[in-house]
Amino acid sequence: MKDYAGVVLAAPVSFGYARQSPRGANWFIGCTLAEMLRQAGLAKDDVDGLAVSSFSLGADSAITLTQHFQMSPRWIDQLPYGGAAGLVALRRAARAVQAGDAEIVACIGGDGAAHRAFEGTAANFSNFTIDASFPYGAGGPNTAFALITRHYMERFGATREDFARVALDQRYNANHYPPALLGHKTLSLEQYLGARPIAGPLHLFDCVMPCAGGEGFLMMSEDRARHLGLPYCHILAAGELHNAHRDDPVQFRGGWTEYADALYQAAALGPEDIDLLQTYDDYPVISMLQMEDLGFCAKGEGPAFVRDTDLRFDGSGQQARKLPHNTSGGQLSVGQAGSAAGYMGIVESIRQLTGRAPHNPVSGARHAMVSGFGMINYDRGLCSAAAILGSAQQ
Amino acid sequence: MSKRQTMRQRLKLNRPSRRRLARPPRQRTPVGMDFTAANLPVALSLQHCSACGAAQYPPREVCGDCLCPTLVWREAETGGTLLAGVDLHHSLWEFFKRRIAQAPWPVASVRLDCGVTVFAHLALHTFSALPAKDAASLPADTRVAVFSHSDASRNAVLIAVSADTPIAERGQRRAIAQQLELTSPAEKPEGI
């Protein structure tokens, strides 16, 4: 596979997180774009590529946004891939810039959170959802993940205390990331274990809070970024595989198992060289699957791994092994802004690798692994994607 | 009817303040409606591929194995193995919210012997050996039977029972569905 040389990521923006908002997805996407342009010192017409992900555009789409925003891109894409949307956008946009199809691509995920909008998204998510999962309790993806979590706990002996390791350290990270919607609250093990039950083994702090917000970054050539004087980071490797292991009766692994080795090989790195890990954490068990499948530990050893690993951004935990994980607090503590959640890990990684995370810096971060997982069509998540990003100072 | 209109109607039906009686989600896709129609006369009917014979679920347009465009509804064996069962304590839908206010709502994923995975309402009262009547005490790999029955929205939904439960007669199946309170709307007694 061709490498990603010559293209870089810049202008990371997280915009407007709110628990509920009367504004639509267009507003969050437009404001995220404006903030990216302001940060990069670019005019609207300098952006000639647009990649957009959103669940709540309604009748609108990426192409209708071009008229709304009065842009004339010569490259456009819409990526409805939920938690993997950002990484898929990254891969597509990088190739477009490499091929010369576009010079600067704005990649944006954004969603509104109108009153009772989440219920509408859950009820109309897909045909399989409408016919075969929503009528059975109507909890959104909670049911599917409760079944996956229960299976994982029985098969690998994971306990709620293990899942708490992920949630608690992320909350600590969120306490140092001002935009996090739950960052003003601390979370103790007692609070975690005593939370109200939601579905089977899942309790309140295992579930993300749906919210509004936007996340975005710019993809451009390294020369252009240098010319603009923008801090940037590189893509060392990236991969995706969807609906992998489709014969597993219950999901306990994702497509990462099939290309994790190739990623490390392409980046000439190993899991031990990764300075920070951003997993898609819609539920803690999914973060554990990603740690296992991306080679940080063997299959089934996720619970032991998180017990023995300090997942805080500053390494202030007791464990000897350090792996800063979801350094902004992840969706569990920041909130899940629809499709923006699929861009969150990339945007946070760019901030970390370019030294633009003043409140929650990972010191000396050079290599970040970002992973995405998404689209619970029926009984499992279909998308998997991952990328290794590297700082410009190698 | 456009998706937008369906959505508006659906939200109206789920609006708690407007209705004394709440019902399970009514919306289905066209093949989902076919599932209800095909399941009216039998305990369980699934789509089968007319070329390779593979059973299909959830309902779909083409065979998931060989992409054959012709799927036929045929009676299917009800036997299966429990993958996982959970109690739901939260729902987005008013019918289930009212039911959950009384007791957690048990659901399960089941691997049917014909090779498909189904979600089903779990009839815990049919598992006589169960120490506690919650889904968490039901171990994986328990043998179960899955049949369909109309819910209070007149759609066919699947119900999982213990493997030794008699379900050959329509009346037996109806009794189980009624005991789950699936066939009656959830009433808000104090009114609106």
CATH fold, domain A138-204+232-387, is: Peroxisomal Thiolase; Chain A, domain 1 (3.40.47)
Q: List alpha helices for A17-141, DSSP H.
A: 25-40, 62-68, 85-99, 117-123, 127-128
Cα A146 versus chain centre, distance: 21
Q: Residues B134, B87: contact at Cβ < 8 Å? A: yes
B24, B90, B92: residue with CB nearest A135: B24
Average pLDDT over residues A246-251: 94
Beta bridge mates, A78 = A52
Provide the pLDDT for residue B11: 60
A316 CB-contact burial (10 Å; exposed 0-12 / middle 13-18 / buried 19+): exposed
> Mind telling me how many Å the CA of A114 is from chain B's nearest CA?
13
A58, A151, A378: residue with CB nearest B83: A151
Provide the pLDDT for residue B19: 72
Percent of chain A with pLDDT strictly greater than 90:
94
The number of beta carbons lying within 10 Å of the beta carbon of residue A332 is 28
Choice between B18 and A350, residue whose per-residue pLDDT is larger: A350
Domain CATH for B133: 2.40.50.840
Q: Residue B59 domain-assigned? A: yes
Average pLDDT over residues A16-25: 94
Query: What dihedral do alpha carbons A250, A254, A258, A261 form, nearest 10°?
Result: -130
8 Å CB contact of B29 and A135: no
Say how far apart CA B146 and CA A196 lie, in whole Å: 30
When divided into structural domains, chain B yields a total of: 1
Q: Residues A329, A211: contact at Cβ < 8 Å? A: no
> Mind telling me how many Å the CA of A130 is from chain B's nearest CA?
6
Nearest to B77 by CA among B60, B62, B57: B57
8 Å CB contact of A124 and B3: yes
Q: Residues A275, A324: contact at Cβ < 8 Å? A: yes
Homologous superfamily, domain A7-116+214-228? Thiolase/Chalcone synthase (3.40.47.10)
Q: Residues B146, B152: contact at Cβ < 8 Å? A: no
pLDDT band for position B5 (cuts 50, 70, 90): low
**Domain edges within chain A:** 7-116+214-228, 138-204+232-387
DSSP string for residues in B110-144: EEETTS-EEEEEE-GGG-TT-SSSSGGGS-TT-EE
Q: Residues A202, A142: contact at Cβ < 8 Å? A: yes
Provide the pLDDT for residue B4: 54
Q: State pTM to two decimals.
A: 0.93
DSSP string for residues in B16-71: GGG-SEE-------HHHHHHHHHHSSSS-EEEEETTT--EE-S--SS-TTT--S-E
Q: Residue B51 domain-assigned? A: yes
Nearest to A248 by CA among A128, A382, A374: A382
8 Å CB contact of A135 and B157: yes
Residue B17 pLDDT more than 70? no
Which amino acid would we find at residue A236? L
Say how far apart CA A177 and CA B157 lie, in whole Å: 45
8 Å CB contact of A123 and B84: no
- Rounded to the nearest integer, the mean pLDDT of chain A is 95
In a 3-state reduction of DSSP, which class is residue B83? strand
Provide the pLDDT for residue B14: 67
Residue B172 pLDDT more than 50? yes
pLDDT band for position B192 (cuts 50, 70, 90): low
Locate B184 and state its tokens. 């009656």
Rounded to whole angstroms, what are the CA distances from A297 to A206, A305, A332, B22?
22, 7, 22, 48
| Same fold flag, A7-116+214-228 and A138-204+232-387 | yes
DSSP string for residues in A320-333: SEE--BSTT-HHHH
Provide the pLDDT for residue B15: 63
Nearest to A140 by CA among B42, B90, B32, B79: B90
The number of beta carbons lying within 10 Å of the beta carbon of residue A134 is 25
Choice between A114 and A112, residue whose per-residue pLDDT is larger: A112
Say how far apart CA A145 and CA A136 lie, in whole Å: 14
| A364-393 pLDDT, tens digit each | 999 999 999 999 999 999 999 999 999 997
Provide the pLDDT for residue A129: 94
Which amino acid would we find at residue A93? A
Q: Residue B31 domain-assigned? A: yes
8 Å CB contact of B136 and A150: yes
Rounded to whole angstroms, what are the CA distances from B127 to B45, B100, B123, B130?
24, 20, 8, 6
Locate A169 and state its tokens. 């350290």
| B23-73 pLDDT, tens digit each | 999 999 999 999 999 999 999 999 999 999 999 999 999 999 999 999 999
Nearest to A215 by CA among A33, A59, A8: A33
- Rounded to the nearest integer, the mean pLDDT of chain B is 90
B56-85 residues touching A, CB cutoff 8 A = 57-60, 83-85
Locate A298 and state its tokens. 């063997």
Residues of chain B in contact with residue A118, where contact means CB-CB under 8 angstroms, are 92
- What percent helix, strand, coil does chain A show, rounded to 5? 40, 20, 40
Which amino acid would we find at residue A92? R
pLDDT band for position B1 (cuts 50, 70, 90): very low
Locate B154 and state its tokens. 């007149």
Nearest to A167 by CA among A151, A149, A147, A155: A149
Chain A residues whose C-beta is within 8 A of a chain B C-beta are: 58-59, 116, 118-120, 122-124, 127-128, 130-140, 142-143, 146-148, 150-151, 154, 196-201, 249-250, 378-379
| A56-66 pLDDT, tens digit each | 998 999 999 99
In a 3-state reduction of DSSP, which class is residue A11? strand
Domain that holds residue B125: 3-187
Is B157 in the A-facing interface, judged by CB distances under 8 Å?
A: yes
A132, A142, A250: residue with CB nearest B58: A132
Q: Residue B192 domain-assigned? A: no
Say how far apart CA A29 and CA A41 lie, in whole Å: 18
Residue B2 pLDDT more than 70? no
Residue B119 pLDDT more than 50? yes
| A154-188 pLDDT, tens digit each | 999 999 999 999 999 999 999 999 999 999 999 99
In a 3-state reduction of DSSP, which class is residue A99? helix
DSSP string for residues in A256-311: HHHHHHHHHHHHT--GGG-SEEE---SSHHHHHHHHHHTTSS-TT-HHHHHHSEE-
Q: Residues A84, A374: contact at Cβ < 8 Å? A: yes
Radius of gyration of chain B (CA): 17
pLDDT band for position A36 (cuts 50, 70, 90): very high
Q: Residues B89, A196: contact at Cβ < 8 Å? A: yes
Provide the pLDDT for residue B188: 81
pLDDT band for position B191 (cuts 50, 70, 90): low
Residue A18 pLDDT more than 60? yes
Say how far apart CA A202 and CA A199 lie, in whole Å: 5
8 Å CB contact of B86 and A116: no
| A285-302 pLDDT, tens digit each | 999 999 999 999 999 999
Residue A331 pLDDT more than 50? yes
B101-140 residues touching A, CB cutoff 8 A = 104-105, 107-109, 111, 117-121, 135-136, 139-140
Residues of chain B in contact with residue A139, where contact means CB-CB under 8 angstroms, are 88, 90-92, 96
Residues of chain A in contact with residue B107, where contact means CB-CB under 8 angstroms, are 136-137, 143
Say how far apart CA A144 and CA A331 lie, in whole Å: 18
Locate B16 and state its tokens. 């708690």
Percent of chain A with pLDDT strictly greater than 70:
100
Q: Which among A150, A196, A382 is the top mutation candidate for probing chain B, defined by the most B β-carbons within 10 Å of its own β-carbon?
A: A150
Strands, E, within chain A: which ranges? 7-18, 49-53, 75-78, 104-111, 197-199, 202-203, 212-221, 232-240, 276-278, 309-310, 321-322, 367-376, 381-391
